[in-house]
Amino acid sequence: MDGAVPAERPLDARLGAQLAVLRAQDLYRTRRVVEGTHGARIVVDGRACVNFCSNDYLGLAGDPRIAAAAGKALSAGVGSGASALVSGYNREHALLEEALAATVQRPRALLFSSGWAANLGVLRALLGKGDTLIADELNHASLIDGGRLAGASYVRVGHGDVPGFADALALPAQGQRLLATDSIFSMDGDAAPLAALSALCSQHGAALMVDDAHGFGVLGGGRGVLFETGDAEPLAADIYMAGFGKALGTAGAFVAGSEALIEFLIQRARTFVFSTAPPPALAAATRASLALVAGAEGDTRRTQLAGLIARFHSGCAQQGIALSPSSTAIQPLVLGLESRALAVSGALFQQGYWVAAIRPPTVPAGTARLRITLTAAHTFAEVDGLIAALSAALKTA
Ligand SMILES: *Cc1c(COP(=O)(O)O)cnc(C)c1O
């Protein structure tokens, strides 16, 4: 065997060819290594930069108090040992579920190990052949995959198109009908017309599922998008899902709803039943984060974030930088070509600002963009610096 070049295995040859195509199309993706603590100022690939592309909207991912809560619980060990239905359901999980249900004012909440797992588990459990999923075309990939996995018929409606949703709901259908939507769309930062969708679902006897990954912790005083109504009562939604990896700064997700919904998911959501329960210490960390987010400190952080968003809008307007309509922490700058998005992102990185270039298939072809995200941990000076760097990069890159 000495010196012999091993023959390339057929799988690797096939993958290599596909990777070459992605490279040629500017669609190849690589990771950058972050050293140490996550936050607004980080060290990435060995250099210091200001991070404008995380989902850590309240600046809590690196918070030492949350780490301390995890550390305290970690002293009892890391693993949960089994799925929650076997022996993996720890007191920490139960306490977090109770706190979440109280926060979103629903009878019950159920933990999942990720938002991805929650969406797949819920849709596959609730829908099957003969049922219908009605979905916004820009829904998160996990809702799309969950719908496919369920085997239900899939009605894709134009983004935020209320008359389109009304038409879809008016179609004769047997079986369960479920309308699923992101609350805040992850790559556009705009909001679903939830009040209209909720009313339509009630009118047509369809169930409504809201994925509030980007709203929980930030909107509705921290309780999430359903509490944005300004009324005493939250907006009606049968299935509320949100994750902890964004504003709460930890990891994992939950679904909240009626007693019947949660009991049914405990029986039937396969990503719950057949998956090891998350570490109890992670639940402890999330509960510590939830207490911060729901309290006065959460209000302070949300106010700071709103101020930064306003500053970013006015600064970009002054520089003639045309932003998409979004009033949330997610501020997309659509540039079109993949190569252009990569060039502008690269130029910003050279100046110490990290803003990822988002390309297809994450966004539709021809809409490659910078997805700029603001967090409560940024300063006004950093936002001003980003705008200046952006203005220069758009001219030269
Ligand atoms: C991030 C995200 C998810 C997935 O959540 P994870 O906990 O990261 O798996 C689901 N839906 C939306 C809208 C998201 O942005």
Query: Per residue in 342-385, pLDDT tens?
Result: 999 999 999 999 999 999 989 999 999 999 999 999 999 999 99
CATH code at position 125: 3.40.640.10
* 240 has a pLDDT exceeding 80: yes
Going by C-alpha positions, the residue among 271, 269, 294 that lies closest to residue 126 is 269
Indicate the SS3 state at residue 252: coil
Claim to verify: residue 289 and residue 300 sit in the same structural domain: no
**Of ligand 1's atoms, which has the minimum distance to the CA of residue 139?**
13
CA 313 to chain centre: 22
Q: Which atom of ligand 1 is nearest to the CA of 245?
A: 7
- Domain-located, residue 305: yes
Task: State pLDDT tens for residues 59-75.
Answer: 999 999 999 999 999 99
Helix, strand, coil content of the chain in percent (nearest 5): 45, 15, 40
Query: What pLDDT is recorded for position 45?
Result: 87
Contacts 24+ apart (CB under 8 A), 203-207: 203/169, 204/169, 204/170, 204/177, 205/177, 206/134, 206/169, 206/177, 206/178, 206/179, 207/126, 207/176, 207/177, 207/178, 207/179, 207/238, 207/239
Query: Does any ligand 1 atom lie closer than 6 A to the CB of residue 114?
Result: yes
User: Residue 134 in contact with residue 179, Cβ under 8 Å?
Assistant: yes
pLDDT at residue 186 is higher than 70: yes
Any domain includes 6: no
Does residue 4 belong to any structural domain of this protein?
no
- The CB density around residue 115, as the number of other CB atoms within 10 Å, is 25
> Which has more pLDDT, 5 or 251?
251
Distance 115 CA to ligand 1 centre (A): 5
What is the model's pLDDT at position 1?
Answer: 52
Q: Kindly state the average pLDDT of the residues 49-54.
A: 96
Predicted pLDDT of residue 232: 78
Residue where one domain finishes, among candidates 294, 315, 348: 294
Give the residue numbers marked as catalytic: 186, 214, 246
Determine what percent of the chain is predicted with pLDDT higher than 90: 92
- Of 261, 294, 327, at which residue does a domain stop? 294
Label the pairing between strands 207-211 and 239-243: parallel
Residues 93, 182: one domain? yes
- Residue 210 token pair: 């809201």
Residue with tokens 């992101």: 182
Token duo for residue 89? 């359901």
Ligand 1 atom index nearest CA of 182: 13
> Of the residues 294, 325, 342, which one is the last residue of a structural domain?
294
CA of 186 to the centre of ligand 1 (A): 9
pLDDT for residue 333: 96
pLDDT over 70 at 83, yes or no:
yes
Classify residue 126 as left (phi > 0), alpha (psi -120 to 50) or beta.
Answer: alpha
Looking at the fold, whether 132 and 194 belong to one and the same domain comes out as: yes
For 136-174, how does the pLDDT look when each residue is reduced to its tens digit (9 = 90+)?
A: 999 999 999 999 999 999 999 999 999 999 999 999 888
Indicate the number of domains in the chain.
Answer: 2
Instruction: For residue 250, tell me if it sits in a domain.
Output: yes
Distance of CA 281 to the CA centre of its chain: 22
Cα(271)–Cα(119) distance, integer angstroms:
9
Say whether pLDDT at 2 is over 70: no
Q: Are residues 346 and 288 in the same domain?
A: no
**pLDDT tens track for 258-273:** 999 999 999 999 999 9
Q: Is residue 371 part of a domain?
A: yes
Contacts of 273 (CB under 8 A, 6+ apart): 83, 85, 266, 267
Q: Within a domain: residue 21?
A: no
Q: Whose CA is nearest to atom 6 of ligand 1?
A: 115
State the first-to-last Cα distance of the chain, in angstroms, to the nearest integer. 50
Tell me if 218 CB under 6 Å of ligand 1: no
